[in-house]
Amino acid sequence: MKPKTVLVPLDGSKLAEKAKRVLVPLDGSQLAESIVPLLLQIAGPLAMAIVLLRVLEPLTPVMTDGVPIVIDDFEARRRHAEEYLTPIAIGLRTRGIDVHSEIRAGRPDEQILAAGRELGVDLIAMSTHGRGGLGRLLFGSVAEHVLRHAEVPVFLVRQKQRPAMRSSTTEAKR
């Protein structure tokens, strides 16, 4: 499948015609949150609704006496995810942006694609490490998988390093 590319003019004019509901996957990192300030600039003026998505990945079993054991307090992880998304959502709402939060469990790439389909989004906006070569081979790329398999355009912001200054969570709260 051919990757889709979204080019956003500075005034957002072409995007305004199509993207009314945007899915924003967040994994709890500053890197993932670096998409939020950009969305603050375009979502309000373009009357976009934002769906914040946090995917809880399955835990890797630990070997104890040769037996794989998974100790998981899923409800605690779910509460933590809610506590993480809530201030970001509140910050966006105070700026006049219609925002909804969604928490799912599973592989991030699969859940991002499923949420995109099931929630009827027009665009998926996310940050990427921009790894290439060996880094992508060793760690894979959620962003690349989403870009190649999404049924809607994907807007990627490449970050080579952690954003400096304040986190976008702080920015969204302001």
Query: Architecture of 13-57+71-119+129-169 per CATH?
Result: 3-Layer(aba) Sandwich (3.40)
Which one is predicted more confidently, 163 or 103? 103
**Given this model, what pLDDT does residue 69 score?**
76
CA angle, 36 then 130 then 173, to 5°: 15
Helix (H, G, I), strand (E, B) or coil at 110: helix
User: Predicted confidence band at 46 (pLDDT cuts at 50, 70, 90)?
Assistant: confident
Nearest to 39 by CA among 104, 116, 123: 123
**Given this model, what pLDDT does residue 132 score?**
54
Torsion (CA) 35, 151, 112, 3 in degrees, nearest 10: -60
* Structure confidence by residue, pLDDT tens digits, 84-100: 999 999 999 999 999 99
The 3-state secondary structure of 76-100 reads HHHHHHHHHHHHHHHHHHHCCCEEE
DSSP state of 161: S
User: Predicted confidence band at 125 (pLDDT cuts at 50, 70, 90)?
Assistant: very high
| Token pair for 2 | 């051919």
Could you tell me how far CA 18 lies from the centroid of its own chain?
A: 19
* Structure confidence by residue, pLDDT tens digits, 67-78: 777 777 889 999
138, pLDDT greater than 80: no
pLDDT averaged over the chain? 79
User: Predicted confidence band at 157 (pLDDT cuts at 50, 70, 90)?
Assistant: confident
- Going from N- to C-terminal start, the domains of the chain cover 13-57+71-119+129-169
Q: How many helices (H) and strands (E) does the chain have?
A: 8, 7
Nearest to 148 by CA among 140, 20, 58, 40: 140
